[in-house]
């Protein structure tokens, strides 16, 4: 297990929106807000199979994440990392856990038939913040 | 002059933090929070010469921006755009205007003597995002 900087895990433990940057096939960047979690020193995010970010992370595992603290937007972190695991195992449970964290709902309410939720495990490689 | 959609200007006119993604020389992404405004149909951000994002935008003008509505965290927008102008002209006044918008002060308080402020004008090429109940995952 890797140790995650404490100010990063503290931020992730709040209802903080993470802005996940990935790279498109043409080399241009893409960034979108996502829910975020951490486990055993890694960042965990989830997305639906076939989304832009899913395709991007499978093609190019280099990602970056930017977050500002919900109560104090002048506290921020910017992370560079690598997706080290992409799995569907546990994807449904993680999206429900995140719905509980962010929406206080037992089940992710926006699930659509046919959606497959994927977990991306991200190793933090570089961390800046205040 | 390009038109920015109402959906977008609503974000830009508030004290919304924008998360600006650029691409590093090695092809990996970089993203960090920035202040943001708009003029004449273009998004504007401000940085200082020599910073990582400055170097990235000079090398690779394709950028992306993600924002969450400060008053409604389930409303968000995700933009793809292109830096069409990089200028030091007016960049000092621009950072003061942003400090006024975000901090309510007349002069940007974190100015460093050695830095040269730069304004990046960004043309919006694609907008995604909804007022959720859409999906954040």
Model confidence pLDDT, tens digit, residues B100-113:
999 999 999 999 98
Q: Is A17 on the interface with B (CB under 8 A)?
A: yes
Integer Cα distance of A75 and B101 in angstroms: 18
Is A46 contained in some domain? yes
pLDDT the model gives residue B134: 41
pLDDT, tens digit, for every residue of A3-40?
788 889 999 999 999 999 999 999 999 999 999 999 99
Q: What is the mean pLDDT of residues B59-72?
A: 93
Task: Confirm if B65 and B78 have CB atoms less than 8 A apart.
Answer: yes
Is A39 contained in some domain? yes
Is B33's CB within 8 Å of A73's CB? yes
B103: tokens are 């901090």
Task: Confirm if A122 and A8 have CB atoms less than 8 A apart.
Answer: no
Is B87 contained in some domain? yes
Q: Which residue has the higher pLDDT, A111 or A117?
A: A117
Is A88 contained in some domain? yes
Is B137 contained in some domain? no
Is B63 contained in some domain? yes
Q: What is the DSSP letter of B91?
A: H
Q: Count CA atoms closer than 13 A to A104's CA, side-chain side.
A: 0
Measure the CA dihedral B103/B106/B108/B112, to 10°. Answer: -150
Assign B71 a pLDDT band (cuts: 50, 70, 90).
Answer: confident
Is B21's CB within 8 Å of A21's CB? yes
Range of the domain at A28: 6-129
pLDDT-above-90 percentage for chain B: 77
pLDDT the model gives residue B2: 76
Q: What is the CATH number of the domain that holds B62?
A: 2.30.110.10
Q: What is the CATH number of the domain that holds A44?
A: 2.30.110.10
CB-based contacts of A51: which residues, under 8 Å, 6+ apart? none
Is A38 contained in some domain? yes
Is A1 contained in some domain? no
Is B133 contained in some domain? no
Count residue pairs from A and B with Cβ separation < 8 A. 112
**Which residue from B22, B73, B128 is facing A29, i.e. has the nearest CB?**
B22
Interface of A with B in 47-76 (CB under 8 A): 47-48, 60, 62-66, 68, 70, 73, 76
Q: If you average pLDDT over every residue of chain B, what do you get? A: 91
Domain count, chain B: 1
**Which residue from A31, A34, A68 is facing B21, i.e. has the nearest CB?**
A31
Nearest CA distance, A7 vs chain B (angstrom): 16
pLDDT the model gives residue A120: 98
Task: Confirm if B95 and B117 have CB atoms less than 8 A apart.
Answer: yes
Complex-level ipTM: 0.93
Task: Confirm if B116 and B69 have CB atoms less than 8 A apart.
Answer: no
Range of the domain at B83: 6-128
């Amino acid at each position: 297990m890797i140790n995650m900087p404490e100010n990063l895990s503290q931020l992730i433990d709040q209802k903080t929106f993470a802005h996940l940057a990935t790279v498109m096939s043409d080399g241009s960047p893409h960034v979108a807000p996502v829910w975020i979690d951490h486990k055993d020193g890694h960042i965990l995010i989830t997305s639906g199979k076939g989304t832009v970010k899913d395709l991007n992370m499978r093609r190019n595992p280099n990602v970056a994440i930017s977050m500002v603290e919900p109560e104090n937007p002048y506290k921020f972190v910017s992370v560079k990392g690598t997706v080290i695991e992409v799995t569907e195992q546990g994807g449904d449970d993680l999206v429900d856990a995140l719905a509980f964290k962010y929406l206080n709902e037992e089940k992710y309410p926006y699930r659509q038939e046919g959606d497959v939720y994927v977990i991306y495990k991200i190793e933090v490689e570089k961390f800046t913040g205040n | 002059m390009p038109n920015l959609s109402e959906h977008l200007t609503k974000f830009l006119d508030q004290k919304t933090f924008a998360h600006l993604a650029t691409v590093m020389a090695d092809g990996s992404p970089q993203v960090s929070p920035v202040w943001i405004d708009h003029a004449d149909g273009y998004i504007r951000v401000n940085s200082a010469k020599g910073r990582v994002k400055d170097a990235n935008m000079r090398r690779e003008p394709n950028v992306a921006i993600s924002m969450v509505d400060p008053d409604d965290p389930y409303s968000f927008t995700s933009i793809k755009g292109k830096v069409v102008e990089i200028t030091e002209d007016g960049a000092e006044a621009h950072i003061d205007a942003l400090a006024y918008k975000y901090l309510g002060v007349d002069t940007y308080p974190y100015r460093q003597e050695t830095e040269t402020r730069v304004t990046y004008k960004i043309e919006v090429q694609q907008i995604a995002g909804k007022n959720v109940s859409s999906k954040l995952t």
